Structure 1
Amino acid sequence: MAGQPWLEAASTKAVIAALEAAGGKDCARFVGGCVRNSLMGRPVDDIDIATRLTPNETLAALKAAGLKAVPTGVEHGTVTGVSDGRPYEITTLRRDVETDGRRAVVAFTRDWAEDAARRDFRLNALYADAQGTVFDPTGGGLADAAAGRIVFVGEAETRIREDYLRILRFFRFYAWFGKGAPDSVGLAASARLKDGIGRLSAERVSKELLKLLAAPDPRAAVRAMADSGVLAQVLPEAPPLDLFEALTTLTGDAALRLSALLPPDEAAVMAVAGRLRLANALRDRLAAMMRQGQAVAPDMDPASARAAIYRLGRQTFEDRLVRAEAATAGDGGPLRALAEGWTPPRMPVGGRDLARLGVTPGPETGRILKAFEDQWIADDFPTEGHEARLKGLIPPRA
């Protein structure tokens, strides 16, 4: 694994040097995603480090080296070191003392194997030293990374009972890194223990689900979730997967993919959003997709498309267009290009224009302006003749 840019970066070397100055040569190793992704040829975003140093010793070591140290989770053994503006999450080796399916009470250890034994999957329990030498305490992580297997560390049921979120993580990692069929032992354990998902906080569940749906191609993982009953545990409202399968080939947008796992009903979507504690922006976007009203289709003419963009807004128009493409196998490319290149104009008249024409401000003003807007949209947003249109809408005086 030597030669990885993140491994050779001066900022990384500075953090490792600070830890080794306090704890010796084998006191710190890289762990988890940065090691796994490097071995699998994937981009590395976050750099996690496991250390034999206690959190207080880690804080002191970083400060002694002139690096920023943030006690982000000291009670769980985690300190964030910042070097050249890049964060490094540094966690003391741990072993579980007590678990309840949602969280664990941990004790610190100096044993790499004990730390590996409490991790979720074997390919996430890989460690590497500063030179890039990889350590595989479970004995299966390297083979799993090479083969694209997601296998629990130790007994699958034991790992799941420690934290039921690991059921969703099993499918999420399969979506991102899996090849072939999912591990049968892990799949069976997930199916047997799926009711435990109900013990988790809604925020943890929705966050994991959205990460899964953001994978390049989550179709196999979602099919496995459906077949095992896990999907129904999370989204009992989920319809058959036909629309989801088609839509996933059109977009990598997790919000749109999620919409295909929901019933096409605004009230039902709002109920799911509340249950899963979805962010307000995501909730509102999903609701707008399902709201009754302006229809969108890949074969609509440009004038109708502009009218829909004006009334719905670009985001909702594009969301409905992609969903319609998936449902009808139509080609929405030309309309997407239209939406990206067209800026809806502002309504060219207002109350002042009517007042100038002798209309007394009041309910009649709103009625006339609404009628004008409907006609202006229907005529494809003409840029001239506005006063004549207004005059034609003003009722004659008695």
Structure 2
Amino acid sequence: MWGRIFLNPKLLNRIHCVWTRRYLFTMQLKTKEFESLFTDGLNGLAEIFEKHRFELRIAGGAVRDLLSGQRPEDVDFATTATPEEMKRMFQSAGIRMISNKGEKHGTITARLHNENFEVTTLRVDVQTDGRHAEVEFTRDWQKDSERRDLTINSMFLGLDGTLYDYFQGYEDLKKRKVRFVGSAALRIQEDYLRILRYFRFYGRVASEPGQHDPDTLEAIRENGRGLAGISGERIWVELKKMLVGNHAAHLLELIHELGLAEYIGLPAEGNVEEMKQVYQRSEGSSPKPMTVLSALFRGSDDVEKLDLRLKISREEKTLGLFLVKQRRDLVKSLDEHDEIKPFTDFLIDSRETDAHSKVLELLKYQGEGKLLAELRRWSIPRFPVSGHDLRRLGITSGKEIGTALQELRDEWKKSRYQLSKEELLSTISRLLVIS
């Protein structure tokens, strides 16, 4: 559906693979996506590290994307140089460093040729509490690889195109398999958010739902309580990414089956069947994360509890409340020639600035693809009569003006917003004559 990773078949013809010591799998990658990374900035960065004889490699998700034939949006780098060594190198070369916020975790951000490059020293986790880790720097690439979450995220790519793969991540990627590095339980206990990262990457990589390793699911079930200690903001970031990926309905159902829902702000007795139907109905229309998620909610209280736990944005909260309230009440007209009228009338009467986008999400929720396309093309017309027009006719009471405007608005809606100002005012004139 969304965001699926495919391994480019043509890529396989441009790869040379070998096994080396320590169970390290290497190969040579030469693709246009890889070569496109070499801007003046990256070439300048590489020269600095080469001059000072420190290794510099592409790390993590960017390697996964390149192996899938995609140009990564973000590229992270890993190095054998410590933060202090990097700072000395950059200072001697006159390179500007952007921020020192990540320095204690080994990350230095350098700016070359109007590009920012995040470079992180190889690390090992000395102590973890399920949320944060105390790290120690190392020059051992395999030890850094061991501390990463999933095999497909644990690979490095040298700037000459050499892939360094210690845990068969490339093989897992080819098989579209999502697997923790080493022991699933240990990786999860180091950072419980990795449970949701597993689900998110399953949606990106796996070709079919339900192809999980039973031991992995058991490790998730046994350690799910640890999610209660993870901040709501971090959970929401992962959950949103999962909801716009493939197999989102399957993964949300699995979250409930494994007893995780209550720890991440979802209703323990959520309406899973409704959610699965909404996911299927909205397929292809790119619903917002909250549109799919709100199908789980049985009432506005569930939206409030989600907000309390995850600190969602005001826009996301109001969309959830809107969908829960209107999903049954605001439906298409029985008149097959004017099915969209209830939605356009709602927009005409609404005073909310984002009402149009909310109604579009409602139509995705309801699976009304035809009406969705029609409403996207529709522009809200301007009601042609104002209170000033009525005062010129002799209506001076504020209450009477309000009543008259509402009556005229109703007549205008009945005409499909076609009556002109003159036609509407003539209606008021007749009423005044009768009076």
TM-score over 0.5 (shorter chain): yes
Secondary structure of 2:43's counterpart equals helix
The size of the alignment, in residue pairs, is: 388
- Identify the range of structure 1 (163-172 vs 220-229) with the bigger mean alpha-carbon deviation: 220-229
Secondary structure of 1:363's counterpart equals helix
Any idea what the Cα deviations from partners look like across 1:105-132, whole Å, max 9, x if unmatched? 1111111122111111111110111101
The equivalent residue for 1:38 is 66
1: CA distance, partners of 2:298 / 2:206: 31
1: CA distance, partners of 2:248 / 2:197: 13
TM-score normalised by structure 1 residue count: 0.88
2: CA distance, partners of 1:98 / 1:240: 38
Q: 1:340 aligns with which of 376, 390, 393?
A: 376
Any idea what the Cα deviations from partners look like across 1:19-72, whole Å, max 9, x if unmatched? 3323x1x52111101111111223411101011112233234334445442224
Secondary structure of 1:359's counterpart equals coil
Secondary structure of 1:389's counterpart equals helix
Contact 1:247 1:260 in 2 (8 A): no
In structure 2, the CA distance between the partners of 1:289 and 1:43, relative to structure 1 (3 Å rule), is: farther
**How many Å apart are 1:302 and its aligned residue?**
4.3
State whether structure 2 residue 126 is matched by structure 1 residue 97.
yes
The equivalent residue for 2:325 is 291
State whether structure 2 residue 418 is matched by structure 1 residue 382.
yes
Percent of residue pairs bearing the same amino acid type? 29
Contact 2:272 2:296 in 1 (8 A): no
**How many Å apart are 1:317 and its aligned residue?**
1.8
- Identify the range of structure 1 (117-126 vs 224-233) with the bigger mean alpha-carbon deviation: 224-233
Secondary structure of 2:394's counterpart equals coil
**How many Å apart are 1:205 and its aligned residue?**
0.8
In structure 2, the CA distance between the partners of 1:240 and 1:395, relative to structure 1 (3 Å rule), is: farther
State whether structure 2 residue 403 is matched by structure 1 residue 367.
yes
State whether structure 2 residue 144 is matched by structure 1 residue 127.
no
In structure 2, the CA distance between the partners of 1:394 and 1:247, relative to structure 1 (3 Å rule), is: farther
- Identify the range of structure 1 (181-190 vs 125-134) with the bigger mean alpha-carbon deviation: 181-190
TM-score normalised by structure 2 residue count: 0.81
The equivalent residue for 1:177 is 205
Q: 1:239 aligns with which of 271, 274, 277?
A: 271
Query: Residues 313-328 of structure 1: matches in 2 within 5 Å?
Result: 313-325=355-367
The equivalent residue for 1:353 is 389
Residue identity in the other structure for 2:312: L
Residue identity in the other structure for 2:369: G
With CA pairs under 8 Å and 6+ residues apart, which has the higher RCO, 1 or 2? 2
Gaps of 5+ in 1: 326-330
Contact 2:123 2:144 in 1 (8 A): yes
The equivalent residue for 1:155 is 183
State whether structure 2 residue 277 is matched by structure 1 residue 249.
no
2: CA distance, partners of 1:110 / 1:15: 19
Contact 1:126 1:135 in 2 (8 A): yes
Contact 1:150 1:170 in 2 (8 A): yes
1: CA distance, partners of 2:432 / 2:82: 79
**How many Å apart are 1:303 and its aligned residue?**
3.9
**How many Å apart are 1:135 and its aligned residue?**
0.6
- Identify the range of structure 1 (114-123 vs 250-259) with the bigger mean alpha-carbon deviation: 250-259
2: CA distance, partners of 1:252 / 1:120: 29
Contact 1:164 1:200 in 2 (8 A): yes
Q: 1:70 aligns with which of 91, 98, 103?
A: 98
2: CA distance, partners of 1:301 / 1:18: 65
